[in-house]
């Protein structure tokens, strides 16, 4: 293990996890974060008695290690929920996943979806070079593709699934069996499926309790340090506040698309690789409401083009402590990108109008608090350039002693659990 200190850029969960695990091994680390607070996307805001996260952030676990880690960090401030998720389709709410709840759809639509599914090839394994659209058609059938999978994914990713590859799937999209789909086409109450069938959430204080718990165990975190330039030859970082810092070992969790503006002297082919990265952005509106009628679900998917949001969630159902007594709160998420922009001045009004259209808000509800977050870099898009561009960029950075970590540093579709695990991978590593 290196005996020189490791410099970590960014104090989101990835940077915090890298520091936490390195420090446990006796490796000295310093984290530099541009914001005044740690946590990155895993933060919460308290406004007039309401607690809002930076968009819905729920904990799903596939690994015992992360479950035990989070449990010990949150010291019992941690509750399990069985998912109550829905899809708005054909002017009604049907349970999620769509595929195993067809009985709730109009009869002709359910028949089309079931017939398509039975005719489809159920082998979910991805074929070499297969497009996401082809995978959807092949595994779900034309009906489920037409009524849910294609419109939802086009709206969410902001590009056609035809232009995407499948390398990100990794269990994020449920793959029901024939028996499960048949069952759900004939009777209500289909089995909960998928990686998010249950989730965990702090009982008090919002999701940022996790980041704060990690922060309290890490020694050297410097907030208010925005990286302005990285000089590869001199191995030196310059911050916006004028401070300069030499490094031997560097881990960056800064979103890759920012790096061309930071790293000096990038060769042409690496710049080209950066220019091919694509991502979507998410505008998130949080509303604190006087609403008397509480919606009991955790979140709802909206595939319709005519409705501005792709998902709406309800903080008061993650923890009653997130809202004042007798009040509720809603978040809505709108996906956009450079090619499909949203009008930031009008989008909040449009969200409220559409919430009324689908019955989640009414004229009697008073909006007590409005808050928004504009997440510029939300989901890396896996198009046909993704693999080669990412590999060229990460290869170049690592040759110049910059290791990367996190959803945006490593440029992968990662959950909070995934970035916690990736941060752990630096333990025992020989730094070059
Ligand atoms: C809309 C949305 C919903 C999500 N929902 C879930 C969910 O329900 N469950 C789940 O498990 N995961 C969810 N995720 C994923 C989860 O947010 C991420 O996997 C995780 O928080 C990423 O952590 P990170 O440290 O890699 O990145 P970030 O949290 O983005 O941290 C990067 C840090 O780097 C800092 N930084 C950036 N530029 C500079 C600079 N120039 N100088 C210094 N510091 C800088 C930033 O301020 C930030 O603190 C969601 C993501 C999105 C976008």
Cβ-in-10-Å burial (0-12, 13-18, 19+) of 150 comes to buried
Q: How far is the CA of 258 from the centre of ligand 1 (A)?
A: 14
> Which atom of ligand 1 lies at the shortest distance from residue 416's CA?
11
Exposed / middle / buried, residue 23 (Cβ in 10 Å: 0-12, 13-18, 19+):
middle
Rounded Cα–Cα distance for residues 141 and 138 (Å):
6
What's the CATH class of domain 85-195? mainly alpha
Domain ranges of the chain: 6-43+203-275+385-424, 85-195, 279-380
Rounded distance, CA 79 to CA 384, Å?
40
Distance 401 CA to ligand 1 centre (A): 23
323 pocket-lining for ligand 1 (C-beta < 6 Å): no
What confidence score (pLDDT) does residue 1 get?
44
Q: Which pair of structure tokens corresponds to residue 72?
A: 């010990």
- Please indicate whether residue 5, judged by its CB atom, sits closer than 6 Å to ligand 1: no
For residue 16 and ligand 1, the question of a CB distance below 6 A is answered with no
CATH class of the 6-43+203-275+385-424 domain in this structure:
alpha beta
CA-nearest of 324, 321, 297, 322 to 311 is 297
- Over its length of 432 residues, how does the chain's per-residue pLDDT go in tens digits? 446 799 999 999 999 999 999 999 999 999 999 999 999 999 999 999 999 999 999 999 999 999 999 999 999 899 999 999 999 999 999 999 999 999 999 999 999 999 999 999 878 788 888 999 999 999 999 999 999 999 999 999 999 999 999 999 877 788 889 999 999 999 988 777 877 889 999 999 999 999 999 999 999 999 999 999 999 999 999 999 999 999 999 999 999 999 999 999 899 999 999 999 999 999 999 999 998 778 899 999 999 999 999 999 999 999 999 999 999 999 999 999 999 999 999 999 999 999 999 999 999 999 999 999 999 999 999 999 999 999 999 999 999 999 999 999 999 999 999 999 999 999 877 765
Give the mutation target among 7, 9, 10, 14 for probing the ligand 1 site: most ligand atoms within 8 A of CB.
10
380 CA from centroid of ligand 1 (Å): 12
Q: For residue 259, how many C-alpha atoms fall within 13 Å in the half-sphere facing its CB?
A: 32
Predicted TM-score (pTM) of the model is: 0.95
Ligand 1 pocket residue status of 208, Cβ below 6 Å: no
Q: Is 56 in the pocket of ligand 1 (CB under 6 A)?
A: yes
For the stretch 143-154, pLDDT in tens is 999 999 999 999
Ligand 1 proximity of 375 Cβ (cutoff 6 Å): yes
Q: 34 CA distance to ligand 1 centroid (A)? A: 13
Q: How far, CA to CA in Å, does 199 sit from each of 60, 78, 211, 307? A: 5, 10, 18, 27
Beta strands in 40-101 (DSSP E): 44-47, 50-53, 79-82, 85-89, 92-95
Q: Is the C-beta atom of 147 inside 6 A of ligand 1?
A: no
* Residue nearest ligand 1's atom 13 by CA: 415
Task: Judge contact between 29 and 2, C-beta under 8 A.
Answer: no
């Amino acid at each position: 293990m290196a005996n020189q200190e490791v410099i970590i850029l960014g104090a989101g969960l990835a940077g915090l996890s890298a520091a936490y695990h390195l420090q446990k091994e006796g490796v000295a680390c310093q984290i530099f974060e541009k914001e005044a607070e740690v946590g990155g996307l895993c933060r919460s805001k308290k406004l007039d008695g309401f607690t809002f996260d930076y968009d819905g952030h729920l904990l799903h676990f596939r690994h015992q290690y992360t479950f035990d880690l989070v449990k010990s960090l949150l010291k019992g401030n941690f509750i399990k929920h069985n998912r109550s998720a829905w899809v708005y389709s054909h002017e009604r709410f049907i349970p999620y996943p769509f595929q195993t709840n067809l009985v709730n759809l109009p009869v002709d639509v359910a028949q089309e979806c079931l017939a398509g599914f039975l005719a489809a090839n159920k082998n979910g394994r991805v074929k070499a070079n297969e497009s996401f659209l082809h995978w959807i058609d092949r595994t779900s059938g034309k009906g489920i593709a037409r009524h849910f999978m294609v419109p939802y994914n086009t709206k969410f990713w902001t590009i056609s699934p035809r232009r995407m590859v499948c390398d990100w799937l990794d269990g994020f999209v449920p793959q029901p069996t024939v028996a499960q789909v048949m069952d759900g086409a004939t009777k209500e109450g289909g089995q909960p499926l998928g990686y998010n069938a249950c989730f965990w959430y702090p009982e008090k204080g919002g999701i940022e309790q996790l980041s704060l718990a990690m922060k309290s165990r890490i020694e050297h975190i410097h907030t208010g340090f925005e990286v302005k330039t990285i000089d590869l030859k001199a191995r030196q970082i310059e911050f916006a506040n004028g401070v300069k810092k030499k490094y031997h070992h560097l881990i960056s969790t800064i979103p890759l698309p920012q790096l061309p503006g930071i790293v000096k002297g990038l060769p042409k082919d690496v710049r080209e690789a950066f220019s091919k990265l694509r991502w979507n952005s998410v505008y998130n509106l949080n509303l604190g409401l006087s609403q008397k009628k509480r919606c009991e679900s955790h979140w709802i998917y909206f595939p319709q083009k005519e409705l501005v949001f792709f998902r709406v969630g309800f903080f008061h159902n993650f923890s009653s402590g997130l809202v004042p007594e007798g009040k509720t709160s809603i978040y809505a998420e709108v996906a956009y990108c450079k090619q499909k922009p949203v009008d930031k001045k009008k989008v909040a009004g449009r969200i409220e109008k559409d919430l009324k259209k689908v019955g989640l808000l009414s004229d009697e509800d008073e909006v007590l608090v409005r808050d928004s977050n504009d997440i510029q870099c939300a989901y890396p898009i896996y198009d046909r350039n993704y693999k080669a561009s990412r590999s060229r960029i990460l290869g170049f950075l690592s040759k110049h002693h910059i290791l990367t970590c996190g959803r945006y540093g490593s440029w992968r579709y990662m959950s909070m659990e995934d970035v916690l695990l990736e941060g752990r991978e630096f333990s025992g590593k020989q730094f070059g």
